[in-house]
Structure 1
Amino acid sequence: MAPGEPLLEVRDLVKHFPLTRGVLFRKQIGAVKAVDGVSIDLRKGETLGVVGESGCGKSTLARLLVGLERPTSGRIHYRGEDITALSGRALTSVRRNIQMVFQDPYTSLNPRMTVGDIVGEPYEIHPEAAPKADRRRRVQELLEVVGLNPEFVNRYPHQFSGGQRQRIGIARGLALRPEIIVADEPVSALDVSVQAQVVNLLEQLQDEFDLSYVFIAHDLSVVRHISDRIAVMYLGRIAETGTDEQIYDHPTHPYTQALLSAVPVPDPEARAHRDRILLSGDVPSPADPPSGCPFRTRCWKARQRCAEVVPPLDVPPEFRESTGPAHHASACHFAEERHVVPSE
């Protein structure tokens, strides 16, 4: 990997799930466009937050990144190598370096397996990662790293709380010492106090294991706390991307502004000065997205051009000469800065 080159580079990634009709003779009548042309970069030691409404394609993107789904088109480059073209042992080798923490700590753990077997299972798939005689000790070390008692190796998942189960999932993700962890809404099923503990644990492990994260969530406050850069998704596309300051304090895309206006504000004085944005209509179906800009059917700025031309994800022309925080990529023909929530 050349100096300055992204560790993970995604270009024009597309995943369409076919819609079929018929029993004996199945015929494709359409497709669900879950991911529809996503381009993102992840640098070494960085956390990229991906945020958006339910159904916008975040989880499908996560599964594509770790190879659980095959893309319809597009490319995923890991350390400069196109991993979408790999299969067999070559793909298995890459998967060792890109691991996943799943959303639901209840269903992502096999209830018939002990914690020791769950965390040690990656060693069965990748036996070169740890000698067989050394695996129990490795598993106990991992449990201790994530804040669990090493003696819990013989317990079963039902004997743990939700937060403890997610720690087990994190330990399993760390077993092979990956470079990248894709965390698919890892705290959405947990209580608020437990969410903070798990997020703090992830930050601690990032420093300790030199990890890079793709952190997916719909809670904007959690994403801001942990992320270096943020990508906002809507209907399978990236609407806006930038640093946490650029996205939260200087949003230029109408969808990002609407999302931020819906975030609960604990300070009554700040809440009174919040610029509340109420969107009209429902989220379009990914099986039949709007032409042009996917957000145009709910956008108060929509014009005829929005229906005819897909806006590119780029720095808007009016901000290209600027060096301020509004200088970041936004997929909107009429992007403009709007302060939705008073700055802290």
Structure 2
Amino acid sequence: MTADGGTTGEAILEVRDLVKHYPLTRGILFKKQVGAVRAVDGVSFDLRRGETLGIVGESGCGKSTVAKLLVHLERPTSGRIRYKGEDITKLSGRALKAVRRNIQMVFQDPYTSLNPRMTVGDIIGEPFEIHPEAAPKGSRRQKVRELLDVVGLNPEHINRYPHQFSGGQRQRIGIARGLALRPEVIVADEPVSALDVSVQAQVVNLMERLQDTFDLSYVFIAHDLSVVRHISDRVGVMYLGRFAELGTDTQIYDHPTHPYTQALLSAVPVPDPAARERRERILLKGDIPSPANPPSGCRFRTRCWKARAKCAEVVPPLETPTWLRDPPGPAAHPSACHYAEERGILPTEQGPHRADG
């Protein structure tokens, strides 16, 4: 077990102290910065080859910003993102273009992420125009047909437009576009949140199959906790720009130690009426603080039933508490809480549920 709750192995992506602040300004002609929205404020993790890291949390916690930073759609305020040992945060031009070929993204909305004026063939084949070395010009049409077949679509529909497909089919088109350059890492930003439940299962199963076929590593971001558990090897729970807890799926779901994780899991709909009656609900008080003015110390303390004076004065590090290390057990994983302790929440069988209620 490593410091960030993962197993040993080659880290294809290393993120250290990642920060993204958006400035708040005042004035029209002479703008003056008066503050900053701390969207991401010190996130660290490793992504290993062939692994899926799930990131879950309430809306506004910074999940999607992390996704944009990983694929360089946003430049970080500070911190490092290393791909195969190389810091990519300061790359530009050809060097950045080369890295982007190996780190692709699947977007949340399967309709707005596709150009409605382009055919499916042009959409999936567009990466070949940007990276012509990936496929000779004469073979691109055939490669697009192969990609359509791989994601479960009819290759004969290559000349259709996005509006002629269902939501699940459009997301398959987005996945095919992400696979075109044979990347090593795919960042999936809530890829199933806009789909029906039955279609969600199909897309998640497709992504698992593609991971085995193409030896992919995923960063999978979602609200739906059951989807995250189904596909992830490890799970990071985010709150207000930082990780509150990080561990394997079993550690997070069956042995949570952070109060925020426990509160999220206590909101899971349980199909068994008897189990539902026995379960204790954890109801959080108050609203999520503004990321422009987060609380001092532990950011969760304003809603936490365990909060004490120390929580307002000292920022809890994301590490395994000493009292959970000996003897080591499933609760021994990183948790950013001064008073972390295991508390079983979920029954053995659970239904689909969302982190934002």
Deviations 1:70-124 (A, max 9, x none): 0000000110111112111001100000000000001100001100010000001
Q: Distance in 2 between matches of 1:297 and 1:314?
A: 21
Aligned to 2:59: 54
Aligned pair partner of 2:127 in 122, 128, 140:
122
Residues 1:110 and 2:115 are matched in the alignment? yes
Aligned to 1:30: 35
Instruction: Give the AA of the match of 1:97.
Output: N
**Contact (CA 8 Å) 2:268, 2:346: kept in 1 or not?**
no
Q: Distance in 1 between matches of 2:111 and 2:48?
A: 31
Q: Distance in 2 between matches of 1:88 and 1:333?
A: 44
Aligned to 2:354: none
Aligned to 1:290: 295
Aligned pair partner of 1:335 in 336, 340, 348:
340
**Contact (CA 8 Å) 1:20, 1:30: kept in 2 or not?**
yes
Residues 1:5 and 2:15 are matched in the alignment? no
Aligned-partner SS, 2:89: helix
Calculate the aligned-residue CA RMSD, in Å.
Answer: 0.9
**Contact (CA 8 Å) 2:298, 2:314: kept in 1 or not?**
yes
Deviations 1:193-245 (A, max 9, x none): 00000000000000010100000001100000000000000000000000011
- TM-score norm. by structure 1 comes to 0.98
Aligned-partner SS, 1:216: strand
**Contact (CA 8 Å) 2:331, 2:342: kept in 1 or not?**
yes
Report how far residue 292 of structure 1 moved. Answer: 0.5
Aligned pair partner of 2:284 in 279, 286, 296:
279
Aligned to 2:24: 19
Aligned to 1:161: 166
Aligned to 1:245: 250
**Contact (CA 8 Å) 1:275, 1:339: kept in 2 or not?**
no
Report how far residue 273 of structure 1 moved. Answer: 2.3
Which consecutive residues of structure 1, in runs of 5 or more, have no partner in the other structure? none
Aligned pair partner of 1:132 in 126, 134, 137:
137
Instruction: Give the AA of the match of 2:243.
Output: I
Aligned to 2:193: 188
Report how far residue 131 of structure 1 moved. Answer: 0.5
Aligned to 2:353: none
Q: Distance in 1 between matches of 2:247 and 2:160?
A: 43
Task: Give me the identity figure in percent.
Answer: 82
Instruction: Give the AA of the match of 2:40.
Output: V
Structural mapping, 1:76-225, within 5 Å? 76-225=81-230
- TM-score norm. by structure 2 comes to 0.95
Q: Distance in 1 between matches of 2:252 and 2:166?
A: 34
**Contact (CA 8 Å) 1:8, 1:76: kept in 2 or not?**
yes
Instruction: Give the AA of the match of 1:221.
Output: S
Deviations 1:24-57 (A, max 9, x none): 1011111000000000110000000000001000
Instruction: Give the AA of the match of 2:282.
Output: I
Aligned to 1:309: 314
Report how far residue 275 of structure 1 moved. Answer: 2.1
Aligned pair partner of 2:233 in 228, 235, 238:
228
Tell me the matched-pair count. Answer: 342
**Contact (CA 8 Å) 1:270, 1:341: kept in 2 or not?**
no
Aligned-partner SS, 2:163: helix
Q: Distance in 2 between matches of 1:117 and 1:9?
A: 33
Residues 1:324 and 2:329 are matched in the alignment? yes
**Contact (CA 8 Å) 2:325, 2:332: kept in 1 or not?**
yes
Deviations 1:266-298 (A, max 9, x none): 222322222210000000110111011010000
Aligned pair partner of 2:74 in 52, 66, 69:
69
